Homo-oligomer: A and B are copies of this chain.
Amino acid sequence: MATNAPRRQPTLDEVAKRAGVSRTAASRVINNAPHVSRAKREAVERAISDLGYIPSRTAQALATQKTNVIALAIAGDDPALFADPFFGRVIVGVSAALEDTDLHLMLCLAASERGQARFRSLLRTRGADGVMLMALRGEDPLVRIARQAGLPTVFGGRPLRGEPSWYADADNYGGARTATEYLISLGRTRIAAITGLADTDVSEARHRGYTEAMAMAGLVPYAEHAGDFTEHSGAAAMTALLATHPQLDAVFAANDNMAAGALRVLRQSGRTVPDDVAVVGFDDLAIAAHTDPPLTTIHQPIQDLGREMTRMLLALLAGQSPSPLILPTKLIKRGSA
C-alpha cells in the first residue's frame, strides 16, 4: 500500500553508481554479457535487487534497434471477421510459442481502411520487429505494406498469388480430398460442393481437393455453388443446389459454417441427413459438434498453425531460414456422413 506508487523507476546509472561500477559494466550484467569480473557482477546484482531496477524496454529498443514486438495482422474484408473463433485459437497457439521469449504480441485488425493505415503506421514507425499476416484476400494491400516495411513476414495460409515466402498452412487440399473420398467410400456419387470465397487460396485448395478426389474415382464434379464461408451463404447455396440438382446424395461444404447452413436447408426441405444426403464440412469448429445431426468434418490444427507461424517468425528473426509448413488435417466422423 505504501509503495510510493509515483516514484520514478531507478535507472541503470543509479544501479551503476550504487554498485560502484561503470554503467557499461552494469549493462553487461543485465544482458548477461561477458567481460565482467565475478565481484563486480555480484555487486551489480545486489544493487539491482536493492533498487528494484527493471530496464526500460523503450530505451533498450532505441539502443538496440529492436522492439521485441511482433505484430499479427488480420486482414479480411470485415472487421467483425475476427469474432470468428478461428482467430482465438490461432492466438492461443501464437501465445504459446511466445511463452518463453520476451517478445510481445501486437494485434492489428486490419480489415478497414483505417485499420490498414494503422498497421502501416505501426510498421513504418518501426514499432515491431516482425509480422504475421492472416486472412489475406486476393491482392491484399497488407502484403505490400509488409514488404515495404522490409520486416520478416510470415503468412498464415498461403497467399493466393504468392511469391515464394514463408508460410504455415493447413493441408486444405488433402483435407478436402479426404472428405470427398470418404463420401465416395460411402457409396455416394452425386456429390455436390459448396465452395468458399473465390479469391482465397483456402477455397481454391479445398475445391481442388474435391475435384481431384472425384476424378480419381472416375467421377465428374456433380454440382457446385459458391458461398462466402458464412452460414447464410451455405444455406443459400444449398437451396440453389437442391433446385438445380434435386438428385444429389452428398454435399462437401468448404467450411463448417456453410455446412451448418446447408444442414438447416436440407432439414427444411424434408431430406434426412445422412440417409438422403450425406454432408461433410471443414474446420471442425465448435459449431460442428452442435449441428443437427452433428457434423462430420475435417479437423485442422488451428492452434498448431498459430504456434508454427510464430516459431517460423522467431526463426527468421534469429537469422535462420525456416521452410514453409503444411500441417496435416484429419477426418472427424460424426453424424452427418
Enumerate A31-50 residues with CB–CB distance to B below 8 Å: none
Enumerate A155-205 residues with CB–CB distance to B below 8 Å: none
* A92-127 interface code vs B (CB 8 A; 1 in, 0 out): 100110111010111111001011001001101111
Q: Which of B62, B85, B287 contacts A62 (CB 8 A)?
A: B62
CA distance A84 to B92 in the complex (A): 10
Instruction: Evaluate contact between A126 and B57: CB separation under 8 angstroms.
Output: yes
* A83 located at the interface, meaning its Cβ lies under 8 Å from any Cβ of chain B in the complex: yes
Enumerate A189-244 residues with CB–CB distance to B below 8 Å: none
* A318 located at the interface, meaning its Cβ lies under 8 Å from any Cβ of chain B in the complex: no
Instruction: Evaluate contact between A95 and B67: CB separation under 8 angstroms.
Output: no
With A58-B67, A83-B89, A91-B82 in contact, is A99–B125 under 8 Å at CB?
Answer: no
Instruction: Evaluate contact between A79 and B106: CB separation under 8 angstroms.
Output: no
Q: Which of B61, B83, B95 contacts A58 (CB 8 A)?
A: B61
CA distance A317 to B268 in the complex (A): 53
- Complex contacts, A303 vs chain B, CB 8 Å: 80, 83
Instruction: Evaluate contact between B91 and A107: CB separation under 8 angstroms.
Output: yes
* A292 located at the interface, meaning its Cβ lies under 8 Å from any Cβ of chain B in the complex: yes
- Identify the closest chain B residue to A64 (Cβ): B58
Instruction: Evaluate contact between A109 and B127: CB separation under 8 angstroms.
Output: no
Q: Which of B89, B118, B150, B260 contacts A104 (CB 8 A)?
A: B118
With A84-B85, A104-B118, A109-B92 in contact, is A56–B125 under 8 Å at CB?
Answer: yes
With A57-B126, A126-B9 in contact, is A112–B99 under 8 Å at CB?
Answer: yes
* A2 located at the interface, meaning its Cβ lies under 8 Å from any Cβ of chain B in the complex: no
Q: Which of B88, B126, B287 contacts A87 (CB 8 A)?
A: B88
* A291 located at the interface, meaning its Cβ lies under 8 Å from any Cβ of chain B in the complex: yes
* Nearest-Cβ distance from residue A49 to partner chain B, whole angstroms: 14
* A51-84 interface code vs B (CB 8 A; 1 in, 0 out): 0001111110110000101000000000110111
28 contacts between A and B (CB under 8 A): A3-B148, A6-B150, A54-B125, A56-B62, A56-B125, A56-B126, A57-B125, A57-B126, A58-B62, A58-B126, A61-B61, A79-B92, A80-B92, A82-B88, A85-B85, A85-B88, A88-B88, A95-B107, A95-B115, A98-B118, A99-B114, A102-B118, A102-B121, A104-B127, A105-B107, A286-B287, A290-B290, A292-B292
4 more A-B contacts (CB under 8 A) besides A58-B58, A104-B108? A58-B127, A83-B92, A91-B109, A95-B107
- Counting from the closest, the 7 A-B pairs by CB-CB distance are A57-B125, A95-B109, A83-B88, A85-B85, A5-B150, A57-B127, A292-B292
